[in-house]
């Protein structure tokens, strides 16, 4: 290995690590504040559960931050080399631009291999675990479903509020049966239940939370829109099944490639667009993994072309290229044929390689 290879490789590796750390912290913190509220506020999650949440979000963020961090590092390093005329010195010493950029492509290939392993093996398992975290907490402590002073939204189409708890009894129980609120439709309350006191019993064997309502008031809407009101001194146990707190929605992103293949084979009657979505998920994992190599093709000539010592130009370029790359690949979910989705998923990589070859040619003869 030449001294120039070690010199450039060290700067790129250090810059990539720093960029990955910074970008990962930003993405993880964003997910933390967006999704952790049900865990912290509604479930009073213990610290170990929050730590597990962070560890499960991290692999998903690495899908984006590794290519993005590598792109930023290459742009900044080669922009500085160009601005300090070190590239000129290397070329005078007999090194071509292609040879000078060899460490970039070696590191890009290694990072692509790491991304492939993360995207295919780690991310699906992390997403599946992340999806079940809230519900696992509920199964560990079903009573946390009805903590007082917090609007609980873990029940399908139902919102529950409890004023206070005394032992295993609840005081001031409010339940709203809600419908709508999706596809632009306004949300509306179809039923309202109030009870002065509720006795709470957890049936671990049947995985049920049994509520016996005392001094209950029930208001429902009939088909013609009129209100129907009923009172009851005592109401038979109201059941919440925490064994299946929700009907789990099957998500391709939370399945391994083998699971997706088996699922498609076992469900040949799935809608065409759904099949395309599942197959595109497999393709996306491979195209995302090659992002580091694709970015290496464009980052080197763009970094040389900038010839600036400031870091703002490299950061702005990396931001624009990264956003454009990932937005185009995400658009594949809207296509209804496998050919169109595959074309869109591979297009950013092909475009980066072709653009990189064109820019290398221009920079070489500049």
In a domain, 199, yes or no: yes
Confidence of residue 21 (pLDDT cuts 50, 70, 90): very high
Q: Is pLDDT of 139 > 70? A: no
Q: Which of 218, 241, 264 is the last residue of a domain?
A: 241
Q: Are residues 82 and 199 in the same domain?
A: no
Q: Residue 216 pLDDT more than 60?
A: yes
Out of 194, 211, 241, a domain closes at 241
Same domain? For 132 and 201 the reply is no
Q: How confident is the model at residue 113 (pLDDT cuts 50, 70, 90)?
A: very high
Instruction: Examine residue 86 and state whether it is found in any structural domain, yes or no.
Output: yes
Say if residue 258 is in the same domain as residue 120. yes
Q: Is residue 44 part of a domain?
A: yes
My answer on whether 201 and 331 are in the same domain is no
For residue 222, give the DSSP letter: -
Q: Of 241, 262, 296, which residue constitutes the final position of a domain?
A: 241
Mean pLDDT confidence for 290-297:
91
Judge if 127 and 85 occupy the same domain: yes
37 and 74 part of one domain: yes
Arithmetic mean of pLDDT over the chain:
79
Length of the chain: 366
Give residue-wise pLDDT tens across range 313-350. Answer: 556 766 778 778 877 777 766 777 888 888 888 988 99
pLDDT value of residue 309: 46
**Whole-number pLDDT of residue 17:** 94
What's residue 43's pLDDT?
53
Task: Give residue 83's pLDDT.
Answer: 79
Residues 196 and 305: their CA atoms lie apart, in Å, by 73
Dihedral sign for Cα 297, 303, 304, 305, please.
positive
What is the domain range of residue 19? 3-138+250-364
Q: Rounded CA gap, 169 and 162, in Å?
A: 10
Q: Find the helix or strand (DSSP H, E) in which 362 lies.
A: helix 338-364
Whether the pLDDT of residue 105 is over 90: the answer is yes
Task: Count up the domains in the chain and report the number.
Answer: 2
Specify the residue for token string 């049947």.
Answer: 206
Tell me: do 193 and 131 sit in the same domain. no
144 in a structural domain: no
**Domain contains 149:** no
Largest CA distance in the chain: 94
What is the torsional sign of CA 48, 54, 58, 60? positive
Q: Which helix (H) or strand (E) holds 179?
A: strand 169-179
Q: Are residues 131 and 14 in the same domain?
A: yes
Q: What pLDDT score does 310 carry?
A: 47
How many CB atoms lie under 10 A from the CB of residue 93? 9
State the pLDDT at residue 232: 86
Task: Check whether 199 has a pLDDT greater than 50.
Answer: yes
Burial category of 338 from C-beta neighbours within 10 Å (exposed 0-12, middle 13-18, buried 19 and up): middle
Three-state secondary structure string covering 218-272? EEEECCCCCEEEEEEEEEEEEEEECCCCCCCCCCHHHCCHHHHHHHHHHCCCCCH
Arithmetic mean of pLDDT, 100-129: 90
DSSP conformation class of 182: S
For tokens 């005329």, what's the residue? Answer: 85
Domain presence at residue 150:
no
pLDDT at 42 over 80: no
Does pLDDT of 255 surpass 70?
yes
Considering the domain architecture, whether residues 32 and 134 belong to the same structural domain is answered as yes
Q: How confident is the model at residue 141 (pLDDT cuts 50, 70, 90)?
A: low
* Domain-embedded: residue 145: no
Q: Beta strand pairing status for 208-221 and 169-179?
A: unpaired
């Amino acid at each position: 290995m030449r001294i120039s290879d070690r010199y450039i490789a060290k700067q790129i590796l250090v810059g990539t690590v720093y960029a990955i750390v910074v970008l990962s912290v930003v993405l993880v913190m964003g997910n933390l504040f967006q999704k952790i509220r049900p865990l912290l506020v509604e479930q009073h999650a213990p610290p170990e559960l929050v730590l597990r949440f962070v560890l499960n979000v991290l692999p998903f963020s690495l899908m984006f931050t590794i290519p993005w961090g590598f792109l930023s590092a290459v742009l900044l390093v080669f922009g500085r080399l160009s601005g300090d005329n070190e590239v000129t010195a290397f070329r005078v010493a007999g090194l071509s631009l292609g040879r000078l950029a060899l460490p970039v492509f070696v590191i890009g290939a290694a990072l692509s291999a790491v991304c492939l392993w993360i995207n295919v093996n780690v991310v699906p398992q992390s997403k599946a675990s992340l999806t079940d975290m809230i519900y696992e907490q509920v199964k560990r402590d079903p009573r946390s479903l009805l903590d007082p002073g917090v609007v609980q939204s873990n029940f399908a189409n139902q919102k529950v509020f409890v004023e206070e708890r005394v032992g295993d009894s609840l005081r001031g129980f409010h339940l709203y049966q809600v419908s709508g609120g999706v596809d632009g439709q306004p949300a509306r309350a179809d039923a309202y239940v109030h009870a002065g006191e509720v006795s709470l019993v957890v049936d671990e064997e049947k995985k049920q939370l049994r509520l016996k309502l005392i001094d209950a008031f029930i208001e429902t809407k009939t088909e013609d829109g009129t209100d129907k009101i009923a009172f009851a001194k005592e109401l038979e146990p109201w059941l919440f099944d925490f064994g299946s707190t929700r009907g789990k929605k099957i998500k391709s992103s939370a399945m391994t490639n083998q699971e997706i293949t088996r699922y498609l084979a076992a469900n040949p009657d799935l809608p065409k667009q759904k099949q395309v979505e599942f197959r595109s998920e497999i393709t996306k994992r491979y195209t995302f993994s090659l992002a580091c190599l694709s970015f290496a093709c464009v980052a080197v000539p763009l970094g040389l072309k900038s010839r600036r010592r400031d870091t703002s130009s490299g950061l702005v370029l990396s931001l624009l290229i990264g956003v454009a790359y990932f937005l185009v690949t995400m658009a594949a979910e809207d296509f209804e044929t496998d050919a169109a989705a595959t074309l869109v998923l591979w297009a950013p990589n092909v475009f980066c390689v072709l653009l990189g070859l064109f820019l290398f040619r221009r920079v070489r003869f500049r």
